[in-house]
Amino acid sequence: MEPPRTQEQPSTIKLYKSISAESILDIEVTDKAELFSRLSKAAIPDASSQKQKRIVQAIQYREAEMSTYVGNGIAIPHAYVEDIEGLHFAMARNPNGFPYEIDTEEPIIIVILVIGGSAYRQQHLHILQAIAKFFTDTEKRDKVVQAKDALSTLRRLETRHRGKGKKLLPITGSLFKHAASIIRETDISAVIAVIHTINESKILDTFAKEARCIVATYTQAIADICRSTTKHVILLPSFHANQLPGSILRFCTFVAMTHGLLKKGDKVLFLSSHTHSHIDTLSVITIEQQLDPFVATEESTDAGLGQILERIITICSELGTQGREGKPIGTLFVLVNEQEDIEPFTQQMVINPFQGHDEKVRNILDPTLVETIKEFATIDGAFVVKKDGTVLSAGTFIKNSQSANLPGGLGSRHRVACGITISVNCFAIALSQSTGTVTAYRNGTEILSLPRGKQG
């Protein structure tokens, strides 16, 4: 799952406004070094030859630390350069693919270079996430690749899906009206609406100003439109669209709490769908009913931690649905405050592939790291992640020092996940190899369970 976002931060990068036709290249190159050199010159054409050399060296240094391939035929090489002002972009297209020195299931057909000065480090991850999210839509990617020239490419980047959308069904319109009345007449704290169509998004104005409005949607275009009404938007993985409203409610509540949007005792009105095509269900719940083991913790209002949890759950959900190289896999993530907290309970099963790398290139929020994490998920053992997002290790054996009282049918991975949250102040997220279910634990208790989604 990209990952969902509810904070006030750049949710999309208007690439068509940041890139010029001159910095869009339709080229063939002999190797990766030539590719980086030509992109660098296109991004900052007036830089001196010495500065160009330093830019390429910075890109290559970052690439040597960890590949910037993000999947779906897209790579986003990037680097900081001390005396660069602002952010600079360049794009290279080649439908036959570029040499990128890694094995991928499909050719790398689009490479977008991002260069920024040190002052832009805070925006760096958000920009990478936004670009990666845009190109996860295969239809958008293909339109960019197939555009006949640079100007056509810019128009493809500017395209917004603002069509009329599906006609609003009578039951959906009626539920929105009843929702507005309930909000006015009762003590509803917030609304969570799972939006499927553009027309549904348009009528959020009927109650968006009267309660905290949290929108969840499976479509990036609808998410962008909804942000004009509410800043709290959760982008759900498309392959979870077949899940029951209860699972989606639990996940949305979990995400909202990790961002401090909901708190214990809040009463929430939930608009959802049993048909997975339009809103047809209205329910009212309180937070205690949903996530009681979670709401008592201080972490439940830590927005930074919320982003990390979202990313881990998204990665696990994608692995549970897609597997790796056609095979189902299971894995475990343990999210800790500090490495020292868990060291007495860990032992490396293999050489730690993350050891020795700079922390800034092994942050789980960096979309260019996702494919690497998915590849290492095939290794036995757990990932250990610090609460700032730094991936500390993979292939780590977790010693299960506490017995976990779990339902029958759950294996050793889940018992370890549950047990370590009793021994250590941490979260554990387990992916079942057999069922594809993602389960999160806190304080020895299950706080979230998402069944395998449907890939489509």
Structural domains of the chain, with CATH = 15-158 (3.40.930.10), 170-299 (3.40.1380.20), 309-450 (3.40.1700.10)
pLDDT at 449 over 70: yes
Percent of the chain with pLDDT over 90: 32
pLDDT of residue 12: 43
Question: Are 235 and 220 in contact, with CB atoms under 8 Å apart?
Answer: yes
Helix, strand or coil for residue 109? coil
Select, from the ranges 30-34, 155-159, 245-249, the one with the highest average predicted confidence (pLDDT): 30-34
Question: Are 166 and 188 in contact, with CB atoms under 8 Å apart?
Answer: no
Arithmetic mean of pLDDT, 15-42: 88
Angle of helix 49-65 relative to helix 32-43, nearest 10 degrees, comes to 130
C-alpha distances out from residue 240 to 156, 426, 454, Å = 28, 26, 6
Q: Cα angle at 349 between 375 and 330, to 5 degrees?
A: 45
Quick one: pLDDT band at residue 318, thresholds 50, 70, 90? Answer: confident
- Identity of the amino acid at 234: I
Beta strands in 294-413 (DSSP E): 331-336, 346-348, 382-386, 391-398
Q: What are the tens digits of pLDDT across the range 171-192? A: 888 888 888 889 888 989 889 9
Question: Are 361 and 367 in contact, with CB atoms under 8 Å apart?
Answer: no
Q: H helices within 351-432, ranges in order? A: 370-376, 412-423
Quick one: pLDDT band at residue 303, thresholds 50, 70, 90? Answer: low
Residues 203 and 175: their CA atoms lie apart, in Å, by 11
Helix, strand or coil for residue 69? strand
Residues 189 and 196: their CA atoms lie apart, in Å, by 23
pLDDT at 277 over 60: yes
pLDDT at 9 over 50: no
- How many other C-beta atoms can be found within 10 angstroms of the C-beta atom of residue 316? 27
Question: Are 282 and 183 in contact, with CB atoms under 8 Å apart?
Answer: no
Quick one: pLDDT band at residue 111, thresholds 50, 70, 90? Answer: very high
Quick one: pLDDT band at residue 161, thresholds 50, 70, 90? Answer: very low
pLDDT at 404 over 80: no
- How many other C-beta atoms can be found within 10 angstroms of the C-beta atom of residue 451? 17
pLDDT at 422 over 80: yes
Q: What are the tens digits of pLDDT across the range 112-145? A: 999 987 766 667 677 787 788 788 888 889 999 9
Helix, strand or coil for residue 346? strand
Question: Are 233 and 195 in contact, with CB atoms under 8 Å apart?
Answer: no
Rg (CA), the chain: 23
Higher per-residue confidence, 105 vs 315? 315
